[in-house]
A = this chain, B = another copy of it.
Amino acid sequence: MIGLYHHGLSVQEAAYLSRAMAQTGKMITTWKKPIYDKHSIGGVPGDKTSMLLVPVVAAAGLTIPKTSSRAITAPAGTADRMECLCPVSLDINEIKRVIEKTNGCLVWGGALDLAPADDIFIEIEYPLSIDPLLLPSVMSKKKAIGANYLVIDIPTGKGVKVKTIAEAQELGSKFIHLGKKLGISVECVSTLGDQPVGYGIGPALEAREVLRTLLEGRGPADLIDKVSNLASVLFDFAGFKDGKQKALDIIKSGRAGKKLTEIIEAQGGNPKIKAEGIPIGPESVEIKSRKSGQVLWINNRVITQTAREAGAPKDKEAGILLHKKTNDNVKKGETLFEIYAKKKHKLKRALKFLRTQDVMKIGKPHEMVLTEIPKEEEKEEFFILER
């Protein structure tokens, strides 16, 4: 491991390792081919893209068996969000049945014995923060699931792991080359990672936003744009024309919502579930702006940590609901965001954490100062209204 840290891996070494890792567990070979898949490097709070992408792609007739993780350091993983709607711990045979019925699934990958060597590596890697295994880690799972076409989302920006387009391009190229050696066609997209995707952060708030977007036609523009762009990459692989428009049509017409409902039902959930029917934390506060201006930035790291202090992802009902995002105008006294929690003491813990942090910067667009170091910082740009 230490050797890897110093010397890294060549693409060829990564390919051998990915194959070997894939072969430590089950390999899926019997689903209807070709298999489409998506992976995100992650790090952006509120990124519920997969939960919309799978129904869109499945509704277009492509096979997309999506296995996901639970959150470790994030406020929610795809498995945590999806679990608000239906069971996600399916075994391979159950997944196959779901896929046969609906073309897609959204399940937890942890119990599937896909490339289990990877899970062991992750445990060692994490304390060491070692990166060279990121590529084999991702690709061994994709190889095990039998993916032929893969789109990788590389969120890029200040509050995430990949900070610049140049870094995204470097990482993306490696995935593409590694994919080639493994027989997987990979396309990578660098996406805006500077602020949360959509407005809801935390399993239940995110699941609600997914349902609102697909079932009620009330979705955030950034989320819809992200989903339709990633879908269009998979549609390109499939030879479909004008993929982005096709994805938008599938969302707008309600076909994606219908497909999500089918998947929920096939995985054992209630197909009649409505956004409002998903419980969110009974304890909440609104955070209001102390001044008028524009939202100049939102700190992903602080949003993530606040949602976690409030109880997410363990408490599915906990999280943050943004009212304002970057570039939005704000009037003094307007709500910037709400915090939801299941337990009052966790809400208090989140508020205590917030008092020492800068979540959002409200100012004028030409204001140049990001922060002064280390003068007493003005932490009190908003005031809190308990209710």
Which residues of A does B touch, CB under 8 Å?
Answer: 154, 156-159, 163-165, 168-169, 172-173, 176, 187-192, 197, 220-222, 224-226, 229, 233, 299, 327, 364-375
The answer, among B197, B226, B370, for a CB contact under 8 Å with A190, is B370
Contacting pair A366 B176 (CB below 8 A): no
Q: Which of chain B's residues has its CB closest to A191's CB?
A: B368
Contacting pair B368 A222 (CB below 8 A): yes
Q: Which of A154, A187, A225, A370 has the most CB of B within 10 A?
A: A370
Q: Which of A176, A190, A365, A369 has the most CB of B within 10 A?
A: A369
Bound complex: CA A327 to CA B215 (Å): 32
Check A371/B168 contact, CB under 8 A, given A158-B163, A327-B365.
yes
Give the copy number.
Answer: 2
Check A366/B168 contact, CB under 8 A, given A189-B372, A373-B176.
no
Contacting pair B190 A225 (CB below 8 A): no
Contacting pair B367 A168 (CB below 8 A): no
Bound complex: CA A158 to CA B220 (Å): 25
Q: What is the distance, in angstroms, from A241's C-beta to the closest C-beta of chain B?
A: 16
Q: What is the distance, in angstroms, from A216's C-beta to the closest C-beta of chain B?
A: 18
Q: What is the distance, in angstroms, from A334's C-beta to the closest C-beta of chain B?
A: 20
Given the complex, which residues of B lie within 8 Å of A224, measured CB to CB?
Answer: 366
Contacting pair B368 A168 (CB below 8 A): no
Contacting pair A373 B221 (CB below 8 A): no
Q: What is the distance, in angstroms, from A281's C-beta to the closest C-beta of chain B?
A: 28
Given the complex, which residues of B lie within 8 Å of A222, measured CB to CB?
Answer: 366, 368
18 A-B pairs, CB-CB below 8 angstroms? Answer: A154-B373, A158-B158, A158-B163, A163-B164, A165-B299, A169-B371, A173-B373, A188-B373, A189-B372, A190-B371, A190-B372, A192-B367, A192-B368, A220-B366, A222-B366, A226-B368, A229-B368, A327-B365
Contacting pair A165 B371 (CB below 8 A): yes
Check A190/B373 contact, CB under 8 A, given A158-B163, A163-B164.
yes
Given the complex, which residues of B lie within 8 Å of A375, measured CB to CB?
Answer: 187
Bound complex: CA A226 to CA B367 (Å): 7
Given the complex, which residues of B lie within 8 Å of A221, measured CB to CB?
Answer: 366
Q: What is the distance, in angstroms, from A73's C-beta to the closest C-beta of chain B?
A: 16
Contacting pair B327 A369 (CB below 8 A): no
Bound complex: CA A381 to CA B190 (Å): 18
Contacting pair B374 A190 (CB below 8 A): no
Q: Which of chain B's residues has its CB closest to A171's CB?
A: B373
Bound complex: CA A157 to CA B159 (Å): 11
Contacts A190-B370, A192-B367 known; list 19 others, CB within 8 Å.
A156-B370, A157-B158, A158-B158, A158-B164, A159-B164, A165-B371, A168-B370, A169-B371, A172-B373, A173-B374, A187-B372, A188-B373, A189-B371, A189-B372, A190-B369, A190-B372, A192-B369, A225-B368, A225-B369
Check A192/B370 contact, CB under 8 A, given A163-B158, A163-B164, A375-B187.
yes
Bound complex: CA A184 to CA B288 (Å): 40
Bound complex: CA A226 to CA B372 (Å): 12
